[in-house]
Amino acid sequence: MTPVVQLDAVSREFAGTAAVRELDLTVRRGEFTALLGPSGCGKTTTLRMIAGFLEPTAGRILLEGEDATRLPPERRNIGMVFQSYALFPHMTVEKNVAFGLKMRGIADGELRTRTGEALELVGLSHLAGRKPKQLSGGQQQRIALARAIAVRPSVLLLDEPLSNLDARLRIQMRQELARIQKETGLTAILVTHDQEEALELADSMVILDQGTVAQQGAPREVFRAPANRFVAEFLGYENFVELPDGRTVTIRPEHVEVLTPESTDSTPSDGTTVDAVLTAVRFRGTDCVVTAVSQGRTVLATSSDFELRSGRQVRVHLPAAHTIDLPRTKQELPTS
């Protein structure tokens, strides 16, 4: 099946500085792709190039298999929701939603039908006559979504569409997005900082690091097996341990076992066990978080052994089943 969107070694420079570097990306029909990464890593730049607001300095963009690298935005069948919503303040809700259809020269009857359908999809038909300033933030957000959907885009680009909403509304809108995507079979690329959002909505997750793909895969896979330290840190892994054999691994604190002579006198046969000293013990009610230091290496662990105290000699076990090997990223490799 021809991908809906394909980026082929796409780069974009601004005054000699690369914002996106040789980026490859494939989005298939009906797929929901989440684009994540730290501020400034090139997410918005990528979306703007796909939409045609920005030309790549190198590489190709294929839409539905056709080279669209130099095609103007209005000739690409793309819907975009901006972080700021960007509704036209002087137009009614209905006119806002109809705008893209009008631009595309859709005839009046069809235009009214599609506008009505889009408003219904976001549950705001009753507000068609209002102006944007008479709407709440969440309602404006839905209108921006309706406007993007009304043109029946082959791909919908969403640039942090939920980040201006409060926590409760965010979760509600997230569920709504999931429903709309299911109902319409929409293909979408969502930029988000929110890992939960990506986990809940996305079939595929792409993590960008300074304009290149650090890892791409199903969200569960990426969370379970981050490809390198950058991705692991971005996803909230805190333990980075260099093992005696030279490998660097990461492991969730809840998977690290703190062993004392009272808890066991045998050495686990799998994984790695090291002698360590506890330097901090923080009680959390149902368990405690301990910091163990072994030859300058720090390991965080959780334990339900409430006898643990700072200064205590222990052994720390990193079970093989839970340690994730982290190859070094290019940036971390020593330059020689």
Q: Which residues sit at the interface with Mg ion, rule CB under 5 A?
A: 43-44
| Three-class secondary structure assignment of 189-230 | EEECCCHHHHHHHCCEEEEEECCEEEEEECHHHHHHCCCCHH
Q: Does 40 bind ligand ATP (CB under 6 A)?
A: yes
43 near ligand ATP, rule: CB under 6 A? yes
Distance CA 127, CA 138 (A): 13
Which of 44, 96, 115, 192 binds ligand ATP (CB under 6 A)? It is: 44
| 21 is a contact residue toward ligand ATP (CB under 6 A) | no
**Residue (39 or 267) nearer to ligand ATP, CB:** 39
Residue 42 near ligand ATP by CB under 6 A: yes
Does the footprint of ligand ATP cover residue 10 (CB under 6 A)? no
We find the least distance from the C-beta atom of residue 63 to ligand ATP, in angstroms, to be 20
Query: Which does residue 40 touch among Mg ion, ligand ATP, none (CB within 5 to 8 A, set by kind)?
Result: ligand ATP
Cβ-based neighbour number of residue 241 at 10 Å = 21
Nearer to Mg ion, 44 or 228 (CB): 44
Nearest C-alpha neighbor of 82 from the set 148, 29, 132, 138: 148
Count other C-beta atoms under 10 Å from residue 15's C-beta: 4
Report yes or no: 271 and 320 within 8 Å, Cβ to Cβ.
yes
- Give the shortest CB-44-to-Mg ion separation in angstroms: 3
Instruction: Give yes or no for a contact between 36 and 195, defined as CB atoms under 8 angstroms apart.
Output: yes
Site for ligand ATP in 272-301 (CB under 6 A): none
* Region binding ligand ATP by CB under 6 A among candidate stretches 36-44, 58-66, 98-106, 260-268: 36-44
- Tokens 């910091």 map to which residue? 291
The residues binding ligand ATP (CB under 6 A) are: 14, 19, 37, 39-45
